[in-house]
Amino acid sequence: MTNRTTGCTTLLVLGDSTVDPGNNNHLPTTARANFLPYGLNFYGRRPTGRFTNGRLATDMLAEKLGIARTIPGFFDPNLRLAQLRRGVSFASGGSGYDDNTANRINVVSFSAQLRNLLRYKLLIRTLLGPRRAERLVNRATFVISTGTNDMLSVYLATNRSNAISMEMYENHLIAHVANYTQAMIMLGGRRFVFVGLPPMGCLPITRTLVGTGSDRCDETLNQLAISFNSKLVQLLNFINYQHQIRISYIDTYTIIHDATVDPKTFGLAEVSRGCCGSGVIEVGQTCRGRRTCGDPSRYMYWDAVHPTERTNELIANVMMDSIRELYS
């Protein structure tokens, strides 16, 4: 199925819990969301492993493109050829650009996701033949959404005033992005959508742990997100120029920040706490079986970290615009 307005036929997704449709369900990790109230507003009101109340931004993007209603996980044992052709997600909740971030909690590191991408390519070569498989990957859009777990784990574990070490760590992550992108290009990737870091200092859990309270964000952490995003954009521009491929950057920071400052414009009412439980600390296992707010569509966050389906829709709309440019 090809979208007439873009020509995009396949989505290949890598990253963290923002784009993991349930791969972690098949791992020996506590970083899971395959229980209620996660999935409360998903099809059939069932938990799938998505860290939200409904669909992820990549699910909604796939629907807007006319590819599929959802993007399944690569570890889904029920994957069919038709789904493999439309796209899969290799993402794993809790991972990051730094493999140490994933290894600490037994989830799939970015390096391992790339190895799974190679397995995917070999699989479709077997199913479709080498030429058709190569063409499918060349025409695919690669969506990469990760980095928040890296920055949060280091920021919260170290002396937050140590700006020098944080800058060095940013550069360390950017070097990883360069290597990973090179690997994806070698595997046949030609079109990429990179999602930037959100205003991490505004996450409900960050406000709680850092102690800023519900009335304000941690600006030091927000500045780190801005700094990282700036370096990411510079790198992507360089790669774009060097390889003559197409790369788009999704400015999640501005989307979330604008909605935090002016929620009514975006149809939101609550932007400082999540819908699950108290909304200030629950995430994953601590959200299990907790009561939820009455109307998640009015909340920016589902738990103390992850966006609601409504917020994911805002991001998906921007993604759709960027994909039109990739195929123009």
- Which amino acids are annotated catalytic? 17, 303, 306
Q: Which residues contact 33 (CB under 8 A, 6 or more apart)?
A: 17, 24, 39, 47, 49, 50, 51, 52, 93, 284, 287
Give Dmax over CA atoms of the chain in angstroms.
57
CA 252 and chain centroid, separation: 10
Distance, CA of 81 to CA of 77 (rounded, Å): 12
Nearest partner of 70 among 50, 49, 55, judged by Cα = 55
DSSP state of 307: B
Cα distance between residue 204 and residue 212, in whole Å: 10
Integer-rounded Cα radius of gyration of the chain: 19
Range list of H helices, the chain: 57-64, 81-86, 99-103, 110-128, 130-139, 148-157, 163-186, 204-210, 219-243, 252-261, 309-326
State how far the Cα of 72 lies from the Cα of 11, in Å rounded to an integer: 10
CA-based nearest residue to 15, from 121, 105, 85, 101: 101
12: CB partners within 8 A, 6+ apart:
87, 88, 90, 117, 120, 137, 140, 141, 142, 143, 189
Angle between helix 163-186 and 148-157 (nearest 10):
160
